């Protein structure tokens, strides 16, 4: 049976100094931590790159939406102008119709005077 003897720093019966084992285990642990950290850094880089691409795509989508909104706004202005023109035309038709009615009434009054 192998026993560790901390006070002496040896594993009895093997000739191995405990500090050597502890250092080897610490080196192994450190190597594993470095490997894990490197993997996490690589994953972080991939996520950052993907996020950057998504932001660029979102920026293009926002620009497209902004362009569409501007086109809709321009279309709305043109439509409002068209509605105003139609309204003006209807008002003019109404005015001319009223004049025609008045003229017709005057003509009827004159014709009644000649009717004997």
pLDDT for residue 13: 53
Mean pLDDT by 10 residues, the chain (116 residues): 49 54 75 92 94 95 97 97 97 97 93 80
Q: Identify the domain containing residue 13 by its residue range.
A: 3-114
Indicate whether this model's pTM tops 0.85.
Answer: no
In the chain, the number of structural domains is 1
Residue 11 burial class via C-beta count within 10 angstroms: exposed 0-12, middle 13-18, buried 19 and up: middle
As a dihedral over the C-alpha atoms of residue 27, residue 33, residue 38, residue 39, rounded to 10 degrees, the angle is: 130
CB atoms within 10 A of CB 4: 14
pLDDT for residue 5: 46
pLDDT for residue 26: 75
């Amino acid at each position: 049976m192998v026993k560790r003897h901390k006070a002496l720093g040896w594993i009895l019966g093997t000739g191995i100094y405990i500090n050597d084992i502890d250092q080897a285990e610490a080196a192994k642990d450190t190597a594993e931590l470095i490997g894990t950290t490197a993997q996490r850094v690589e994953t972080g880089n991939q996520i950052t790159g993907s996020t950057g691409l998504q932001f660029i795509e979102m920026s293009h989508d926002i620009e497209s939406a902004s362009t569409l909104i501007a086109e809709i706004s321009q279309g709305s202005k043109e439509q409002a102008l068209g509605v105003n023109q139609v309204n003006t035309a209807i008002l003019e038709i109404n005015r001319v119709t009223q004049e025609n009615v008045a003229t017709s009434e005057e003509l009827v009054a004159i014709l009644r005077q000649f009717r004997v």
